[in-house]
Amino acid sequence: MADVLAALEALPLAAALRASVWLYPLVNAAHIVGVALLFGAIVPLDLRFMGVLVGIDASALSRLLVPVSVFGFIVALGAGSLLFITDAPDYFASSLFRVKMLVLLLALANVVIVSRLRARAVLAEPSSSTLLRLAATASIGLWLTVIVLGRLVGYF
């Protein structure tokens, strides 16, 4: 694994990111924008599934916000990967980074759970499903944890 991490860090793109005054901050900004789109789309959707945002059609809200959250995730993942390669061995050695990746996997697994529970509740009021309400609550907590851990990685 150490060889793979060293190879990633030695990529010309990683060197360019480290050497550029503008490139690294722009990629970092793209990562933040991706996270904002992702979290900003997930929260209202989860709040709807929790029964907090009543009076808004859950299907229409899903059609609007799911593509935004997917786009945000793709942007955050791409930019985050570029940030990672600039210092791959140190990031991988960070327990905060590894916990962030674990919580990210849990958040993604929860997306599948929420989607399946939402599909089951399609004919009923989504917030009438206790499991969906719990999964939506967990979603907000998991994604918020990913964000906080991501910010902490940069400081420790």
pLDDT tens, position by position, 26-82: 999 999 999 999 999 999 999 999 989 888 888 899 999 999 999 999 999 999 999
- Evaluated on CA atoms 124, 126, 127, 132, the torsion sign reads positive
pTM: 0.92
Pick from 112, 117, 104: nearest CA to 50: 117
> Which residues, at least 6 apart from 6, have a Cβ–Cβ distance to it below 8 Å?
88, 89
Total domain count for the chain? 1
- Structural domain of 78: 2-153
